[in-house]
Amino acid sequence: MDQTLHEAATAWRRHLHANPGLTLHEGQTAAFVAERLREMGVTEIETGVGGHGVVATLRRAGGNRAVGLRADMDALPIQEKDEALPWRSTTPGVMHACGHDGHTATLLATAALLLQDKGWTGTIRLVFQPAEEGGRGALAMLDDGLLQRFPMERIFGWHNWPGLPAGTIAVHDGAVMAAGARFAITFEGHAGHAALPHMTRDPMLGLGHAIVAIQSIAARSVDPLKSAVVSVTVAEAGEATNQVPARATLRGTCRWLDEEVGALIFSRLEEIVQGVAATYGLTGNLDIPARGQVTINSPAERDLAAAAAAHVSTMRSDIAPAMTGEDFAQYLQKIPGAFVWIGNGPADGGRELHHPNYDFNDAIIPAAAHYMAEVARRALSEA
């Protein structure tokens, strides 16, 4: 990548960082993406796919294969802490704490590289996806006919990875990232005066015992040779210090790499909720609105990704999967593909994902863009 393109991509990334679009509110980001693509001369651009999704098509005669390249666009409801950062978020309470600004800018740079390269033929779909952070963005695009309206045989994507040396590309042989689900637990009791607890049915008691019991799922119900995470992250109850409330709510997340483990987690959560409710005279309800999928690379596409990675940078295949989730898995349920990590450099000083001090490393844009361009070329050239 020449310096001019790198500088342009860096400017795009920093603009997106300064102007983040929260999950399901990426309209400004989508408009920015479409405008940059038009400036490059891309004419086939479809907006509003699955919400604020953008799909651009690069097409060259002489080949009949089609490949998709995906980047996510949304930001997180996190207040940025680094006030000295020149391109810090200008939207209070919202920031790109996961690097989707970098993913989006890199896919724009990939488009520029592919437009400059006359050596490929076929069709390349550039998929700019909204709502990856729990907003079901991949499913929304699929439900809006992504694969029917913009046919592609396989799809590739990536995520920056703090702690992995900058530009190093990790290609996993098996699972890349975990499946996940968010849960909400509600206990309903009978409110009353806190000095007359015998006249109430206290949902706070259920809340406390449920928290302790839920922590036992991974520790005592799951095979220790398998991976599971069950975390309670939100507890809500009460309005007055002298009242036993009528309702208490817990919310949290669970992650797994094995579908049998996922089923076990859901079963144990339901048993705990109903058991605790029965013990303390409450009614209990467990709500799991959506369940994710494990991100697992297709074997042939994994090999293709590894070859492309080794061609452009340092490639590693010895990195363990992470219990973080990624809705790229929804595409892999429909068509073959591969998802890789590209090192963002040291995670010192809170530069890890979803931290208020995180910032994408602009120095990795060339490696990431060249990887995406190379994997697309190889996918189109395979017999």
Range of the domain at 229: 178-287
Are both 165 and 268 inside the same structural domain? no
Q: How far is CA 130 from CA 12, 111, 215, 218, 251, in A?
A: 17, 18, 33, 32, 24
Q: What is the pTM of this model?
A: 0.92
Q: How far apart are CA 79 and CA 101, in angstroms?
A: 16
pLDDT class for 130, splitting at 50, 70, 90? very high
Is the domain of 98 the same as that of 149? yes
Tokens representing 178 are: 């975990």
What CATH number did the domain enclosing 304 receive? 3.40.630.10
With a CB cutoff of 8 Å and minimum separation 6, the contacts of 113 are 1, 5, 369, 370, 373
Give 208-220 pLDDT, tens digit per residue: 999 999 999 999 9
State whether 32 and 163 are in the same domain. yes
Residue 93 located in a structural domain: yes
Q: Are residues 114 and 134 in the same domain?
A: yes
Pairing of strands 169-170, 315-316: parallel
Q: What is the pLDDT of residue 290?
A: 82
Residues 6+ apart with CB under 8 A from 112: 5, 8, 9, 40
Helix intervals (H) in 245-325: 259-279, 299-312
* 28, 157: one domain: yes
First to last CA, the chain: 28
Token pair for 226:
């398998």
Element (H, E) at 101: helix 100-116
Domain closes at, from 252, 287, 322: 287
Q: Using a pLDDT cut of 70, give the percent of the chain over it.
A: 100
Instruction: Give mean pLDDT, residues 162-166.
Output: 98
Q: Which residue reads 């040396």 in tokens?
A: 165
Q: Residue 347: which pLDDT band, with cuts at 50, 70 and 90?
A: very high
C-alpha 285 chain-centroid distance? 28
Q: Are residues 31 and 80 in the same domain?
A: yes
What confidence category does residue 104 fall into, taking pLDDT thresholds of 50, 70 and 90? Answer: very high
Is residue 33 a part of any domain in this protein? Answer: yes
Same domain, 148 and 51: yes
Does residue 84 lie in a domain region? yes
Q: Is the model's pLDDT at 363 over the cut of 90?
A: yes
pLDDT at 199 over 80: yes
Q: Over 70: is that where the pLDDT of 102 sits? A: yes
Domain stops at, among 229, 255, 287: 287
Residue range 266-309, pLDDT digits in tens: 999 999 999 999 999 999 999 998 888 999 999 999 999 999 99
Mean of all residue pLDDT scores within the chain: 97
For residue 135, the model assigns a pLDDT of 82
Helices (H), 82-181: 100-116, 137-143, 146-149
Q: How many domains does the chain have?
A: 2
50 torsion bin: left (phi>0), alpha (psi -120 to 50), beta (else): left
Residues 271 and 368 in one domain: no
166 and 59 in one domain? yes
State the pLDDT confidence band at 121, using cuts at 50, 70 and 90: very high
Assess whether pLDDT exceeds 80 at residue 39.
yes
Let me know whether 161 and 76 are in one domain: yes
Q: Is residue 242 located within the same domain as residue 258?
A: yes
Q: Is residue 292 part of a domain?
A: no
Q: Mean per-residue pLDDT for 364-377?
A: 98
Q: Residue 46 above 80 pLDDT?
A: yes
Q: What is the pLDDT of residues 16-27, one digit of tens each?
A: 999 999 999 999
Residues 285, 168: contact at Cβ < 8 Å? no
76-88, pLDDT tens digit by residue?
Answer: 999 999 989 999 9
Q: Is pLDDT at 383 greater than 80 in this prediction? A: no
Is the pLDDT at 186 greater than 90, yes or no?
Answer: yes
CATH of the domain at 188: 3.30.70.360
Domain identity same for 182 and 321: no
**Residue 117 is assigned to a structural domain of this protein:** yes
Domain end call among 287, 315, 349: 287
Q: How far apart are CA 169 and CA 167, in angstroms?
A: 6
| Average pLDDT of the segment spanning 28-39 | 98
Cα–Cα distance, 271 to 265 (Å, whole number): 10
Let me know: does 178 contact 326? Beta carbons within 8 Å: no
